[in-house]
C-alpha cells in the first residue's frame, strides 16, 4: 500500500491511466470485430464503412501509446486484404 503522498498520487494516476487505456483498447478491439463480422456477413458497403471506422481507431491507439505502430499496420493490412477478397 502507498505510504507517502507521492506514492498515493502515483497510484491514483496509474489507476486512472489504466482505466483510460483499457477503454481505448476495448473500443479498438470492438471496431476490429465489427469489421470482421461485416466482412463475414458478405455486405460490401457495410464492411467498407466498418473498416473506415476501424482504421482511425487503430491509429488513435498508436498515437496514445496503447499499441505499437506495426501491430496497427498488421491489423489494417489483414482487414483490408479480407475486404478486397470480399469485393472480388
The pLDDT score that the predictor gives to residue 5 is 94
Q: How far apart are CA 63 and CA 51, in angstroms?
A: 19
- Per-residue pLDDT in tens (0 to 9) along the chain, 88 residues: 778 999 999 999 999 999 999 999 999 999 999 999 999 999 999 999 999 999 999 999 999 999 999 999 999 999 999 999 998 8
| Entry field: residues in the chain | 88
- Give the pTM: 0.87
Q: With helix as H, strand as E and coil as C, how does the chain read? A: CCCCHHHHHHHHHHHHHHHHHHHHHHHHHHHHHHHHHHHHHCCHHHHHHHHHHHHHHHHHHHHCCCCCHHHHHHHHHHHHHHHHHHHC
Domains of the chain, with CATH numbers?
A: 5-87 (1.20.58.110)
Amino acid at each position: 500500500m502507498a505510504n507517502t503522498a507521492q506514492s498515493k498520487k502515483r497510484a491514483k494516476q496509474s489507476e486512472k491511466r489504466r482505466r483510460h487505456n483499457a477503454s481505448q483498447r476495448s473500443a479498438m478491439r470492438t471496431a476490429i470485430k465489427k469489421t470482421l463480422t461485416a466482412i463475414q456477413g458478405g455486405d460490401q458497403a457495410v464492411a467498407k464503412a466498418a473498416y473506415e471506422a476501424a482504421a482511425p481507431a487503430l491509429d488513435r491507439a498508436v498515437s496514445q501509446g496503447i499499441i505499437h505502430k506495426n501491430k496497427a499496420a498488421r491489423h489494417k493490412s489483414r482487414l483490408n486484404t479480407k475486404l478486397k477478397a470480399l469485393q472480388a
